[in-house]
Chains A and B, each alone.
Chain A
Amino acid sequence: MNWTRRHLLGLEDLSAEEINVILDTAESFREVSTRKKKKVPTLTGKVVVMMFVEPSTRTLTSFSLAARRLSADVVSFARGGSSILKGETLLDTAKNIQALGIDVIVLRHPAPGTPHLLARNLDASIVNAGDGSHEHPTQGLLDIFTIRDKKKQIEGLTVAIVGDIKYSRVARSNIWGLKKLGARVVVVAPATLIPPGIEELGVEVCYDLDKIIPECDVINILRIQLERQKSGLFPSIREYTKVFGLNAERLAHAKEGLLIMHPGPMNRGIEITPEVADGPHSVVLDQVTNGLAVRMAVLYLVSGARG
């Protein structure tokens, strides 16, 4: 299959076939990381801008390293050093950056739809590195890559996504990707953190973590934002941990090959206990490693589509 997309705005738009192209490409890039000289000349002469309007050390580091391993020139444009706060609009800023002759903008922004705004108005390729509560496609892809790597397939698996479904871009990207590849997806959260109409995305809603655990092949635990409690969406952190936190006791009835994932950063002792986070089911560090290969694949494919 030929890759034709210049942008990666979300997994909603992609077909199963396209997702597999990214995963297969990531597979071949993963090998690069095991070499002594961890670099390929694929994007020599290309310029990739990291435009992080919302801070995120992990994602920024992962994307920057991915671009450098492909031999691209990398420019970082983080929040503090930009003019974004000085009254210039996002679009102005992006147009100015584009005028420097760049090829790809990797955008992290707190407002949903900002990658679409740039894609509509600029010639550069836009890669969404997380836009508010909308999508975080490379996180979804690296989660799916990790599952495929361990389980050899996605179809037929039961994946529970637990936590702040309402505000989570990670949940949305996982749901789109996993459903397209044939998984059964169950979202588990307090009713106040389940957004309306989520069932129409093809997922099941469950309020009882203990009931669903024995059926799961994968549990993806989301970070609970502590400000949700302050805005009255659940009564207390203690209650959240009691009802929806993952601990060793709860895993007594889990399947043997259960994978436990977390997109990080973790609130240890809140949504997940340290013994589970570091325990035998956890693939949290594999996720980080695979993230690099997936981001290399994405940068490579969108740059290629630009010609």
Chain B
Amino acid sequence: MGTTLVADGRTICPDQGIDRKLNVLLSDGRVAELTESRPAADKVINASGKIVSPGLIDMHVHLREPGKENEETIASGSAAAVAGGFPSVACMSNTDPAVDNEASSEFVFLQAERAGLANIYPVGSVPKGRRGEELAEIGQLSRSGTVAFSDDGSPVSSADIMRRGLEYTKMFGKAIIEHCEDLALSGDGVMNEGTLSTILGLPGIPAASESGAVARDIILAELTGGKLHIAHVSTAGAVELIRTAKRQRLSVTAEATPHHFTLTDQCVKAYDPVYKMKPPLRTQADVDAVREGLRDGTIDAIASDHAPHSTEEKQLEFSLAPFGVIGMESLLPVAVTELIDRVLDWPELIAKLTCNPARILGIDKGTLRPGADADVTIIDPHLTWTIDANRFRSKSRNCPFHGKQVRGRAIQTIVGGKTKYRLHPNADY
């Protein structure tokens, strides 16, 4: 495979506390060294004026295969991942059939290998088939490379199953990634409950639907000593509960999505289902609280919750259209545009996309330590462009940031030492 030198970039590796101009030498699929000198290499990538980061990790995506290959496949999702700057993603278990046994997780690895673009880590379901009373084969799944457990798409509604799940996953050091929602309180809600849902006549999902569930799960994490990760935090109440749990040194982590730290329920005003997702877009006060949670470290990771849906389905009546938005190819630019210099500095942002999700998932990624896999994302921090969902690698187009002017972009994604994505230098963005 030979050696590659990523030269003259601003190298940021929060895992090692590094943020300075360094040359990164990759050799035989691994990081060889970070050095101020200029070792000889078979290939040199000029990263001058760019940021050189450990390969980014999107710890929460839905790739729809098996089951809904018209919306996304592991191959198209892999292409979207590397185009967004992510050599690694963790995909949720709510496929059809669900990932609840070794064979189904092996299938994910096999399809990822065939696609040959990105590292795809399956997340297994908590109970078998994402419903019922019996736990999935968590031990065997863990051994076959499943990185975490989640019924995302829905919550683990039974407190008892959640309790047993937290106890059982603890044995394998795996986290339960919980979609915190009280389904009874959400009812048939399709947007945030508040004045706007009243005006629009759409059934609302109260903030309490999330914060109530977060409170329950934190209490169960305390009871069991299990590892709990709260997915897509959207409310001020949930941020505060997680902050308190962390002060108590519980094993609780959290992620936020770009749409929840950028958009408010006011987007729903014109009844466009491209703004329909769970949890729903909340108020400005919630957006501010999520940003504050990112700033003070309450929220550990940024993830897209990439949820592809066909255009036909997203053109239905608002109340009938499915929940979910895509985000792998818009996450980084939106995060850079919205957070850098306002909420986070570059090392803080990169930590939430590399070593923090790696630690939560327990994977040897998200670092440029010598010996680590040669996954590198080169970012142009200044490139200004307009997000155009029609040019995405994803099969789906349901992106709420379509048309947004943004700054920053992954221009080259290296996976295991090989370039899997490069933005054409003359791309007309």
> Which residues of A come within 8 Å of B, CB atoms?
12, 89-91, 109, 111-114, 116-117, 120-121, 131-135, 166-167, 169, 172, 195-198, 200-201
Q: Which residues of B contact A201 (CB under 8 A)?
A: 195, 198-199
Tell me whether A172 and B315 are in contact (CB under 8 A).
no
Q: For this complex, into which size category does the number of interface residues on chain B fall?
A: 20 to 34
Known contacts A133-B201, A195-B197, A197-B198; is-contact A112 B318 (Cβ 8 Å): yes
Answer whether residue B18 sits at the interface, using C-beta atoms and an 8 A cutoff: no
Other A-B pairs, 20, CB within 8 Å; known A111-B317, A198-B198: A12-B199, A89-B316, A91-B315, A111-B318, A112-B201, A113-B200, A113-B202, A113-B318, A114-B271, A117-B271, A117-B315, A132-B201, A132-B202, A134-B200, A134-B202, A196-B197, A196-B204, A196-B206, A197-B195, A197-B198
Answer whether residue B312 sits at the interface, using C-beta atoms and an 8 A cutoff: yes
Tell me whether B319 and A132 are in contact (CB under 8 A).
yes
Tell me whether A90 and B204 are in contact (CB under 8 A).
no
Partner of A113, one of B193, B194, B271, B315: B271
Known contacts A112-B271, A116-B270; is-contact A197 B194 (Cβ 8 Å): yes
**0/1 string, B34-74, CB within 8 A of A gives 1:** 00000000000000000000000000000000000000000
Tell me whether B198 and A195 are in contact (CB under 8 A).
yes
Tell me whether A196 and B198 are in contact (CB under 8 A).
yes
Answer whether residue B363 sits at the interface, using C-beta atoms and an 8 A cutoff: no
Q: Which of B202, B271, B317: most chain A Cβ within 10 A?
A: B317
Tell me whether A200 and B195 are in contact (CB under 8 A).
yes
A121 to B312, CA, bound (A): 13
Q: Which residues of A contact B315 (CB under 8 A)?
A: 89, 91, 117, 121
Q: Which residues of B contact A109 (CB under 8 A)?
A: 317
A76 to B317, CA, bound (A): 21
Answer whether residue B320 sits at the interface, using C-beta atoms and an 8 A cutoff: yes
Within 8 A of A (CB), among B298-353: 312, 315-320
Known contacts A111-B319, A196-B204; is-contact A116 B271 (Cβ 8 Å): yes
A166 to B203, CA, bound (A): 9
Q: Which of A166, A167, A196: most chain B Cβ within 10 A?
A: A196
Q: Which residues of A contact B194 (CB under 8 A)?
A: 196-197
Q: Which of A12, A166, A169, A195: most chain B Cβ within 10 A?
A: A195
A154 to B397, CA, bound (A): 48
Q: Which residues of B contact A111 (CB under 8 A)?
A: 317-320
Partner of A172, one of B201, B271, B312, B317: B201
> Which residues of B come within 8 Å of A, CB atoms?
193-202, 204, 206, 270-272, 312, 315-320
Q: Select from chain B the residue with minimum beta-carbon distance to A172.
A: B201
Partner of A196, one of B193, B312, B317: B193
A131 to B271, CA, bound (A): 12
Q: Select from chain A the residue with minimum beta-carbon distance to B196.
A: A197
Q: Which residues of A contact B202 (CB under 8 A)?
A: 112-113, 132-134
Q: Which residues of B contact A116 (CB under 8 A)?
A: 270-271
A120 to B320, CA, bound (A): 17
A132 to B194, CA, bound (A): 17
Q: Which residues of A contact B312 (CB under 8 A)?
A: 89
Residue contacts A-B, CB under 8 angstroms, 30 given: A12-B199, A89-B312, A89-B316, A91-B315, A91-B316, A109-B317, A111-B317, A111-B319, A111-B320, A112-B202, A112-B319, A113-B200, A113-B202, A113-B318, A114-B317, A116-B270, A117-B315, A117-B317, A117-B318, A121-B315, A131-B201, A133-B202, A134-B200, A172-B199, A172-B201, A195-B197, A196-B193, A196-B204, A197-B195, A197-B196
A195 to B312, CA, bound (A): 32
Q: Which residues of A contact B197 (CB under 8 A)?
A: 195-196
Q: Which residues of A contact B195 (CB under 8 A)?
A: 196-198, 200-201
Q: How far is the CB of A212 from chain B (nearest CB, A)?
A: 21
Q: How far is the CB of A30 from chain B (nearest CB, A)?
A: 30
A132 to B315, CA, bound (A): 18
A133 to B198, CA, bound (A): 9
Q: Which residues of A contact B198 (CB under 8 A)?
A: 166, 195-198, 201
- The 3 closest A-B CB pairs, nearest first, are A113-B271, A197-B195, A133-B201
A198 to B317, CA, bound (A): 24
A179 to B194, CA, bound (A): 20
Q: Which residues of A contact B319 (CB under 8 A)?
A: 111-113, 132
Tell me whether A134 and B316 are in contact (CB under 8 A).
no
Q: Which residues of B contact A167 (CB under 8 A)?
A: 201
Tell me whether A113 and B199 are in contact (CB under 8 A).
no
Q: Select from chain B the residue with minimum beta-carbon distance to A167.
A: B201
Q: Which residues of B contact A195 (CB under 8 A)?
A: 197-198, 204
A196 to B196, CA, bound (A): 9
Q: How far is the CB of A91 from chain B (nearest CB, A)?
A: 6
A91 to B270, CA, bound (A): 16
Q: Select from chain A the residue with minimum beta-carbon distance to B206.
A: A196
Q: Which residues of B contact A120 (CB under 8 A)?
A: 270, 272
Q: Which residues of B contact A196 (CB under 8 A)?
A: 193-195, 197-198, 204, 206
Tell me whether A134 and B270 are in contact (CB under 8 A).
no
Q: Which residues of A contact B316 (CB under 8 A)?
A: 89-91
Q: Select from chain A the residue with minimum beta-carbon distance to B316.
A: A89
Q: How far is the CB of B331 from chain A (nearest CB, A)?
A: 27
A111 to B318, CA, bound (A): 7
Tell me whether B317 and A135 are in contact (CB under 8 A).
no
Q: Select from chain B the residue with minimum beta-carbon distance to A132.
A: B201
Q: Which residues of B contact A114 (CB under 8 A)?
A: 271, 317
A166 to B197, CA, bound (A): 10
Q: Which residues of A contact B270 (CB under 8 A)?
A: 113, 116, 120
